[in-house]
Amino acid sequence: MNILVVSQYFPPEPGAPSNRVSAFVEAMVRRGHRVTVVCEFPCYPTGILRKADKWKLFRREKRDGYTVVNTYVMTFPVKNNIKRMLYYISFAVSSFFAVILLRRHDVVMVSSPPIFFAYSSMIAALIKRSRFIIDIRDLWPDTAKEVEAVSSGRLMKWGAFLERGLYKNATRIFTVSEGIKSKIEQRGGKDKTSIVYNGSFEEILRWQGSVAQVRERYGWTNKIVITYAGIIGLGQDILAALPQITKVRRDDIEFVFIGDGPQKADLVSGFKREGFKNVRFFEAMSQAEVIPYLYASDVLMVILREIPFFNSAIPSKFFDSMAVGKPIITNVDGELRKIMENNQTGLYFSWRIDGSFAEAVTTLASSPELRKKMGENGKILVADRYLRSIIAERAVKIIEESRL
C-alpha cells in the first residue's frame, strides 16, 4: 500500500510523539509498504527553527526506506494562547496543502494531538478518497483545558466539534490506554478503536554501553541518581512539586532533569532560590543520546500533572524506564499504577500527600535489593509484552485488514 503519515512531531525532534510515529513508520516499511511522512520543520520543544529552515515552505528528503516532507510552521520560543494557536494552525494549513499536492495514497494516517492538522488532513484524505486512520495519543481539547493551555470556551467548543468529526470519519482509531479508549468510544469511536500501547524500543532494552563511564564523568559513583527525562511543561507541572523535591536533602542523592520545556527556566531558578544543590540539568537529548543516562541512573521518575484526567494516561517513558531495568517512582494513579504495582516495577507517590515523594525516594535509595528486583521485573515485562516493534506491527496489520 501507499501510506501517508501526517504528524506535527517526528524525528529528529525528541519526545514520545516522535518516537511513537517513528515506530509506526518503521513497521510499515518492514511490511513492504511505500511510506511518506509529512511533518513540521524541526523546532520542538524549543520553538526555534534552524536558520536555514526559517522561510521554507516545503522540503523533501529520503530516509531509510521512506520519504519525509517537512512543511512550514510558525513557531515561537515562548507561547501564549495566540502564538500557540498560530503554531498549530500554520502546520494544519501547510500540511493540508502537502497532502493535497502529493499523489493519492491508499491510507492517510495522522497522530494527534494537536487536533487542527488532524482535521485538515482528514479533509484532504476525504477529498483524495483515501482511507483515514487516526492515532489518538491524548484527548484534545480535554488536555488543553486541564493544563490551562487553552482557556477560551469558544475554542473548547470548536475543538470538541473537530474531535467528533475525526472519530466519525475514521476507518480505524488507535489509542494508548483503556481509559482513553473508553472516552473515545463514548464520543463516536465505538467498534473501531484499538489500544496500541507505546511500549519501548528493542535498542533501549538491549543496550550494552558503559554505565560506569557516565557515572564517573558526573561524580555519581557513590550517589543514588534519580532521573526525570522528558518535557518540562504544563502537562508535567514539576514546578508545583518543588517543595516536595527539596525536602529530600541527602548528600548521597542527586536529582537529574533531562529535557526542555516552558517550565524549565522557572524550575532551575526555583532550585537555586531554595538553595538546593543536589540537582543537575541537561538539555533535551535524542533517544540514542539519553539511553546511557537512563542506564546510569538508579531510579527513574514518571511524572504528570496531578489531575484526574491524566489518570488514563500511560506515558511512553514508563515503558522506557522499565526497559532499562530501573525502578520507577510515579504520581500517575490509574492504569499505569495498576500495571506497575501488579508487576512490582516501582512505587507510587502523590505530591498532594506531604512526605509521600520523600518516602518513595528514601525507600528505594535505602534498598539496593529492592531496586534490583523491581528493575529486573520491569525489563522482563517489556521484553514479554511491550516492545514497540511488535506493538507497531500489530497496528499495521489492523490497517492492512481495514481494506478488506
The partner residues of 4 in beta bridges, in order of sequence, read 36, 108
CA angle, 337 then 358 then 264, to 5°: 80
The partner residues of 224 in beta bridges, in order of sequence, read 253
- Is there a single domain that holds both residue 170 and residue 220? no
pLDDT of residue 152: 58
Residue 344, C-alpha cell as written in the block: 512490582
- Is there a single domain that holds both residue 194 and residue 223? no
Q: CB-based burial of residue 234 (10 Å sphere; 0-12 exposed, 13-18 middle, 19+ buried)?
A: middle
Burial 94-131 (b: 16+ CB within 10 A, else e): bbbbbbeebeebebbbbbbbbbbbbbbbbbbbeeeebb
- Is there a single domain that holds both residue 347 and residue 324? yes
Q: What percent of the chain has pLDDT over 70?
A: 96
Starting from the edge strand earliest in sequence, which strands make up the sheet with 299-302, in order?
Answer: 279-282, 253-258, 224-229, 299-302, 328-330, 346-348
Cα 110 to Cα 117: distance, rounded to the nearest angstrom: 8
Is 189 within 8 Å of 172 (Cβ atoms)?
no
What are the two backbone dihedrals, phi and then psi, of residue 379, each rounded to the nearest 5 degrees? -65, -40
Measuring CA to CA, which residue among 28, 9, 102 is closest to residue 399?
28
- CATH assignment of the domain containing 366: 3.40.50.2000
* DSSP one-letter code for 187: I
- Is there a single domain that holds both residue 190 and residue 286? no
Measuring CA to CA, which residue among 88, 65, 333, 336 is closest to residue 198?
336
Helix (H, G, I), strand (E, B) or coil at 310: helix
- Is there a single domain that holds both residue 365 and residue 391? no
Cα 120 to Cα 363: distance, rounded to the nearest angstrom: 49
Q: CB-based burial of residue 282 (10 Å sphere; 0-12 exposed, 13-18 middle, 19+ buried)?
A: middle
- Is there a single domain that holds both residue 68 and residue 213? no
pLDDT of residue 142: 65
- Is there a single domain that holds both residue 185 and residue 213? no
pLDDT at 53 over 80: yes
- Is there a single domain that holds both residue 258 and residue 174? no
pLDDT of residue 287: 84
**For 286-307, how does the pLDDT look when each residue is reduced to its tens digit (9 = 90+)?**
888 999 999 999 999 999 999 8
Q: What is the mean pLDDT of residues 101-115?
A: 95
- Is there a single domain that holds both residue 225 and residue 149? no
Q: DSSP assignment of 74-127, as one string?
A: ---SS--HHHHHHHHHHHHHHHHHHHHHSPP-SEEEEEESSSHHHHHHHHHHHH
**For 159-216, how does the pLDDT look when each residue is reduced to its tens digit (9 = 90+)?**
788 889 999 999 999 999 999 999 999 999 989 999 999 999 999 999 999 999 999 9
Measuring CA to CA, which residue among 196, 197, 199 is closest to residue 397?
196
**For 12-36, how does the pLDDT look when each residue is reduced to its tens digit (9 = 90+)?**
998 889 999 999 999 999 999 999 9
- Is there a single domain that holds both residue 54 and residue 190? yes
Residue 60, C-alpha cell as written in the block: 523533501
Query: What pTM was estimated for this model as a whole?
Result: 0.85
* DSSP one-letter code for 186: I
Helix (H, G, I), strand (E, B) or coil at 46: coil
- Is there a single domain that holds both residue 218 and residue 180? no
CA angle, 307 then 313 then 317, to 5°: 115
By residue range, what is the domain housing residue 299?
A: 202-385
Burial 4-22 (b: 16+ CB within 10 A, else e): bbbbbbbbebbbbbbbbbb
Residue 182, C-alpha cell as written in the block: 473508553
Query: Domain tally for the chain?
Result: 2
- Is there a single domain that holds both residue 162 and residue 219? no
Residue 66, C-alpha cell as written in the block: 521512506
**For 305-319, how does the pLDDT look when each residue is reduced to its tens digit (9 = 90+)?**
998 888 889 999 999
